[in-house]
Amino acid sequence: MLFGATGYTGGRTAEVLVGRGVRPVLAGRDAARLAALGERLGCPTVTADVTDVASVSALVGPDDVLVTTVGPFTRLGGAALAAAVSAGATCVDSAGEPPFLREVFELQGPAAERSGARLLTAFGHDYVPGVLAGALALREAGERAARVDVGYFLSGRGRLFSRGTVKSLIGIAGTPGHTVRHGTLTTEKAGARLRTYEVDGRPWPGVSIGGVEHFALPRLHPGLRTVDVHLGWFGALSEVVHRTSRLPGPPAPLLAGLGRLADRLPRAPSAEALAGCRSHVVAEVFDEYGTLLARTRRTAPDPYALTADLLAWGASRALSHGVAGVGALDPVGAFGLDALADGAASAGLTSP
């Protein structure tokens, strides 16, 4: 069951699923657009509202895999999550907002364990590559590992982001993020810390952000004391983002105005810009004294292609092979490190 197929990321995901031999049921509110898409892809369709728990619950059972790309998830993702938990289903989503991720792991996870549901949040460019790279680096580093840093970067020029991505970024402006310090998950504002990585042969700054890595990597290595995730999308403006993180959050009227401006953006990023884009992820593991023990790098085509391929791989793998465990799961825990590495490689995420 796929919600969001008439959107940009959801449409790409539907096409990849069909290419993998899976015919998802396409669900949404616009029956006419769904029917046209379903006819083109050869998929059945059903009218439903992803923001209404009862509407989603009527379609999902315990053996089903629910995929949703409808965001911003902090505003629109709760109903599908609740329906999946209630049904004991598998839910795979493309969320990237740190407050939503924390809700999945800390609030919905225990309920999902009781119902037998499997929740795989942020199963796309955000944050499967970092979890994979971090897990591979931890395996190489061994027992001395005490700290993991993960950085995400995009190379390329032009309009690289969809309307939905911009609206999600606006939606989380000023909201709490999270990090792991002294072995404990703690709250902090996004951008609170700044770190420079070497990417593609040059220094590249990134600002701190909450991710799935903070939940996933300590599960793999309980001795970890620090987990940091950095976003390097802002280039030279990273320093500005870092400094503004010390200020009070933006007022609601400003965010509303920015949201209205975002509504005027094209739904899709520039195809030309994406054709020249590369996604880079770096994971570095250190011991308690700050000595570098291991470094893993992965690159991929544009982030939307990667997200669509990862969502399709995760959903089809869950459908055909099942998922290990119940509750709020990370990609490694759900599928195993080697299987995840193979699946990510089939999605285009490979060593540089």
* Residue 344 CA: distances (Å) to CA of 96, 214, 309, 312, 331: 18, 20, 8, 11, 10
**Per-residue confidence (pLDDT) for residue 264, from 0 to 100:** 73
pTM score above 0.75: yes
CB atoms under 10 Å from CB of 266, counted, come to 10
Q: What is the mean pLDDT of the chain?
A: 91
- What's the rounded Cα separation, in Å, for the pair 96 and 94? 7
**Per-residue confidence (pLDDT) for residue 262, from 0 to 100:** 65
CB atoms under 10 Å from CB of 288, counted, come to 12
**Per-residue confidence (pLDDT) for residue 257, from 0 to 100:** 67
Cβ(113)–Cβ(104) under 8 Å? no
DSSP SS3 for 13: helix
Give me the architecture of the 128-302 domain, per CATH: 2-Layer Sandwich (3.30)
Mean pLDDT across 19-23: 95
Q: Which amino acid is at 108?
A: Q
Give percent of the chain above pLDDT 70.
Answer: 92
DSSP SS3 for 264: coil
Q: How confident is the model at residue 235 (pLDDT cuts 50, 70, 90)?
A: confident
**Per-residue confidence (pLDDT) for residue 249, from 0 to 100:** 65
Query: What topology is assigned to 2-125+305-338 in CATH?
Result: Rossmann fold (3.40.50)
Q: How confident is the model at residue 62 (pLDDT cuts 50, 70, 90)?
A: very high
Rg (CA), the chain: 19
**Per-residue confidence (pLDDT) for residue 233, from 0 to 100:** 83
pLDDT tens digits for 118-138?
999 999 999 999 999 999 999
**Per-residue confidence (pLDDT) for residue 258, from 0 to 100:** 59
pLDDT tens digits for 71-85?
889 989 999 999 999
pLDDT tens digits for 284-302?
999 999 999 999 999 998 8
Is the pLDDT at 142 greater than 60, yes or no?
Answer: yes
Domain ranges of the chain: 2-125+305-338, 128-302
Q: Which of 318, 352, 329, 347 is nearest to 22 (CA)?
A: 318
Mean pLDDT across 255-259: 62
pLDDT tens digits for 160-219?
677 777 666 666 666 778 999 999 999 998 888 999 999 988 999 999 999 999 999 999
**Per-residue confidence (pLDDT) for residue 205, from 0 to 100:** 94
226-254 in b/e form (b: 16+ CB < 10 A) is bbbbbbbbeeeebeebbeebeeeeeeeee
Handedness of CA 37, 271, 348, 324 (dihedral sign): negative
* Residue whose structure tokens are 């999605």: 347
**Per-residue confidence (pLDDT) for residue 160, from 0 to 100:** 66
Cβ(28)–Cβ(47) under 8 Å? yes
pLDDT tens digits for 35-48?
999 999 999 999 99
